[in-house]
Structure 1
Amino acid sequence: MYDVIIIGAGPAGLSAAATTANQGLEVLVVDEYMKAGGRLLGQLYEEPDGTYWNGIKESNHLYERANQSGAEIKLGTSILNIEKSGDVWLVYTEKDTYETSHLLLATGAAESPSPVPGWTLPGVMSVGAAQVMTNVHRVKPGKRGVIIGVNPLAAVIASELQMAGVEVTALTLPQMNGLNEEAAHPKQVMNQLLHVAHMAPSALIRQGSKWMKPSIMQDLGITFYPKSGFKMWGIPVHLRKAVTEILGDEKVAAVKLATVKPNGDVIEGTEEIITCDFVCIAGGLYPLTELAAVAGCPFYLVDELGGYVPLHNERMETALDGLYVAGNITGIEGAKVAIAQGVTAGLTMASNHGVQGLKDRIEQSIEEIEQTRDNAPFHFHPDVKKGKQIVQEKWEEMMAAEQPL
């Protein structure tokens, strides 16, 4: 029996563990991976102030903090099921069953790559897999690659691959189909990129993006977008070309690229072949919410946050007594926001367990989440603040509906 159990040893889970254990509670952290850090492990990028965000170093720091606080951390341990029995949450693993009155789900996010003809060939992988291979395991995914999908995550990982000595030939759109209309529509993709254009290494792109806010300017920009693309870190970024097929006999050998109209339709007869030995598909991230669903937590679909998210309040409490959420399970954001949410969840769990005098600290931690979000150099979803407001409104509606007349 633990005072608190945290599922997920990523930035949110480790932050919550240190915060809660420092309040004198007995804390267990469980994660299926062999190393703590979650998606933070693969991150390595330059921040606006010129410093580098090194995910491995940050993960090690968070892990040491949690360890020093007295939290117990079990890695390489998969969760089979969770359920509520009276006032106790039961957490089933392959070897043992654990009990707690306060359970935090910090399960993070997963990738959702869109299918492309030929995507079952060896050498095709998600963009996150290439990031982990390169930054965590120090193994190059190949010598020359193409990234299908133009979004902030793809751009960051493309730069990381370049730093590792891997040639990225192009960032390009997928061919439009029924599953990827938003990711394959040139204007919609341009609108997404405008929210991160201030981070572009090219002064031309940074300055030019300021004139592209009006819709009519975006229409003109897409219509006259260069056939050779704009280069970022020396990588051509194509908004008027799409991969129609990945080619190869026993493994990836090339991709077939075609010019597309401003509405995303392929222009017949414009196909060309680009040789490569690996392909990354960047379809974005979605919250990993399976355990919250198993528990019976209410959900709401919020596109601005990446998909279905469990309804929760600012204190990271869900509608189920003793169940909390933090990190990307609440919506796709950066690791710094996840760390801040972990602090709030940790303080809330300690307060609900009976630790006194935490009200002001909880309120301050909620404000720090907002400040961290406001100061983020970019957002995976441009309207994330709108998404958070939707969740808050739905939470309030649910709470009002449960009040007796």
Structure 2
Amino acid sequence: MIDVIIVGAGPAGLSAANVCAKNGLKVKVVDEFMKAGGRLLGQLHEEPDGTWWNGIEEAKKLSEDAQELNVAVECGVSVHNIKQEKSYWKVYTTKGDFKTRALLLATGAAETSLPIPGWTLPGVMSIGAAQVMTNVHRVRVGERGVVIGINILSAAITRELQLAGIEVSSMYLPGKNIVTEDAAKPLSTMKSMLKVASLAPSKLIRLGSYFMKYESLQSLAVRFYPKNGMKVWGMPVHLRKAVLEIVGDKKVEGVKVAQVDVNGEPILSTEKFVPADFVCIAGGLYPLVELAAISGCPFQYIAELGGHVPVHNENMKTPIDGLYVAGNITGIESAKVAMKQGAVAGYSISMDLLKTDVNIEDQLQQAINHVKQTRNQATIQFHPDIHSGREKIHASFKNTLRTDI
């Protein structure tokens, strides 16, 4: 019997594992990727204070700590089922079945697909795939490409591609359809990007965003948005142009672009071909919750957290005995927040299994406070009103307990 099994060797999973191991628990971490670190492995960006956040180095530190603490980290292992027994959880993996007293799901997030005609052509990839290929595998994704989808994630990764010497000619909206919805609307996209405009490299954009607090001004700005886009890092970002189709015979050769009206409807007489040898599609992220779903854990849809999330409290406990969650499975936030959440889960699990050390309760509360501090200091939020989303899911946990009584 293993004390704790953690599914996911990303920032949340490794942080939780290290806390549990420090408290004397036997810990096993499994991850289907070939290397521990999760999303950290692809992250490289400059912070507002000029320092660089190097995800590979952060992952290395967490992995080295885990090794020193004798945490069993097994990569290339997939979990295909979990089942709660009377006093333990049974975890079914491609490397055998295991029993554990406590189970932490730190499965992270997945990318939302935006269906666009031609998206199955070789050379089309998600923006996250481009990040992994560039920063993890050191593979050049192409010579000249375009990004479809304007959001916080695509902006950050596009900059990483540029730093790697890859030309990204433009960023466009996706063509409007039943799936793309708000992502194809200029006004909705502008509102989401205004939340991070203070980080823009252009003084003009930073100054302009200051006056965009009112709906009327935002609508006016969309109407008079430059037809040639607004340059960020030397690359035009188009709020009034969308990709209608990805073009190519046996591989990507370019995209068909058209101007759009303020509602995202294409103006067909403006169609134009833009050459490219790769295309990145950026639809955003959603919590990866399949394992939590088969556990019997209740869920709630909360837009501020990125979609359906398992019900849990501040301690990262679910209403199901012995089941915990941490990281982006609980809502889309930064790797820094995920690491702090992992620590909370680690202390929470340790307190529940050991039941004797009062010290752990104090450390748990400190860890919860660190999550809040990290969230408050975050320069980028993937979803607006993240604090409201957290309050909703924590209230749902309390309501679930009342219903069970």
The aligned counterpart of 2:382 is 380
Q: Distance in 2 between matches of 1:383 and 1:257?
A: 33
Contact 1:10 1:36 in 2 (8 A): yes
Q: How does 1:211-222 map to 2 (within 5 A)?
A: 211-222=211-222
Which residue in the other structure is 1:206 paired with?
206
How far does residue 36 in structure 1 lie from its aligned partner after superposition?
0.3
Identity of aligned residues (%): 56
Structure 2 Cα separation of the partners of residues 64 and 221 of structure 1: 50
CA distance in 2, matches of 1:226, 1:383: 29
Report what 2:53 is aligned to.
Answer: 53
What's the secondary structure of 2:178's corresponding residue?
Answer: coil
- For 1:3-402, list aligned pairs within 5 A: 3-354=3-354, 355-357=356-358, 358-402=360-404
TM normalised by structure 1 equals 0.98
Question: Which whole-Å deviations, capped at 9, do the CAs of 1:137-184 have from their partners, x for residues lacking one?
Answer: 111110000000000000001100000010001111001111111111
Contact kept? 1:172, 1:242, Cα under 8 Å = yes
CA distance in 1, matches of 2:384, 2:203: 22
* TM-superposed deviation, 1:118: 0.5
Structure 1's unaligned 5+ residue stretches are: none
- Secondary structure at the counterpart of residue 363 of structure 2: helix
Partner amino acid for 1:107?
T
Quick one: distance in 2 between partners of 1:87 and 1:217? Answer: 59
Query: In structure 2, what is the Cα distance between the partners aligned to 1:86 and 1:399?
Result: 20
Q: Which amino acid aligns with 1:93?
A: T
**Deviations along 1:228-267, whole A, 9 cap, x unmatched?**
1111111111100000000010100010110000111111
Question: Residues 376-401 of structure 1, C-alpha deviation per residue, up to 9 Å, x if partnerless?
Answer: 11011122111111111211211222
- C-alpha separation between the residues in 1 aligned to 2:198 and 2:2? 46
Amino acid in the other structure paired with 1:369: V
Output the amino acid matched with 2:391: Q
Q: CA deviation at 1:308?
A: 0.5
Distance 1:88 1:359 in 2: 23
> Is the deviation greater in 6-15 or in 360-369?
360-369
Give the drift of 1:91.
Answer: 0.7
Instruction: Tell me the distance in 1 between the aligned counterparts of 2:119 and 2:133.
Output: 19
Q: How far apart are residue 95 of structure 1 and its match? A: 2.7
What amino acid does structure 2 have at the position aligned with 1:161? L
Point out the more displaced range, 376-385 or 337-346: 376-385
- Secondary structure of the corresponding residue to residue 19 of structure 1: helix
Q: Secondary structure at the match of 1:269?
A: helix
Deviation at 1:207, TM superposition (A): 1.2
Residue deviations 1:102-157 (CA, integer Å, cap 9, x gap):
10000000001210001011000000000000000111110000000000000001
Q: State the distance in 2 between where 1:395 and 1:80 align.
A: 26
The residue type equivalent to 1:398 in the other structure is T
What's the CA shift for 1:303?
A: 1.1
Is contact 1:16–1:344 with CA below 8 Å preserved after alignment? yes
Query: Residue type of the partner of 2:169?
Result: T
Q: Distance in 2 between matches of 1:74 and 1:28?
A: 8
Task: Work out whether residues 145 and 278 of structure 1, in 8 Å CA contact, stay in contact via their aligned partners in 2.
Answer: yes
Q: Secondary structure at the match of 2:379?
A: coil
Q: Give the AA of the match of 1:286.
A: Y
CA distance in 2, matches of 1:94, 1:326: 23
> What is the alpha-carbon distance in structure 2 between the residues aligned to residue 66 and residue 228 of structure 1?
50
Contact 1:108 1:287 in 2 (8 A): yes
Q: TM-score, normalised by structure 2?
A: 0.98
| Residues 134 and 161 in structure 1, CA contact (< 8 A), matched pair in contact too | yes
Deviation at 1:273, TM superposition (A): 0.9
- Write out per-residue CA displacement over residues 72-95 of structure 1, whole angstroms, 9 at most, x where no aligned residue: 111111112110111110011123
Q: Which amino acid in structure 1 is aligned with residue 229 of structure 2?
A: G
Given residue 126 of structure 2, which amino acid in structure 1 is its aligned partner? S
Structure 2 residue matching 1:251: 3-state secondary structure: coil
Task: Measure, in 2, the Cα distance between the counterparts of 1:97 and 1:81.
Answer: 10
Q: Is the 8 A contact 1:18 1:67 kept in 2?
A: no
3-state SS of paired residue (1:370):
helix
| One-letter code aligned to 2:384 | P
Question: Which structure 2 segments of 5+ residues have no match?
Answer: none
Shift of 1:55: 0.9
Count of aligned residue pairs for this structure pair: 403
Whole-Å Cα distance in 2 between the matches of residues 179 and 61 of structure 1? 40
Q: Which moved more, 1:354-363 or 1:285-294?
A: 354-363
Instruction: State the distance in 2 between where 1:108 and 1:237 align.
Output: 29
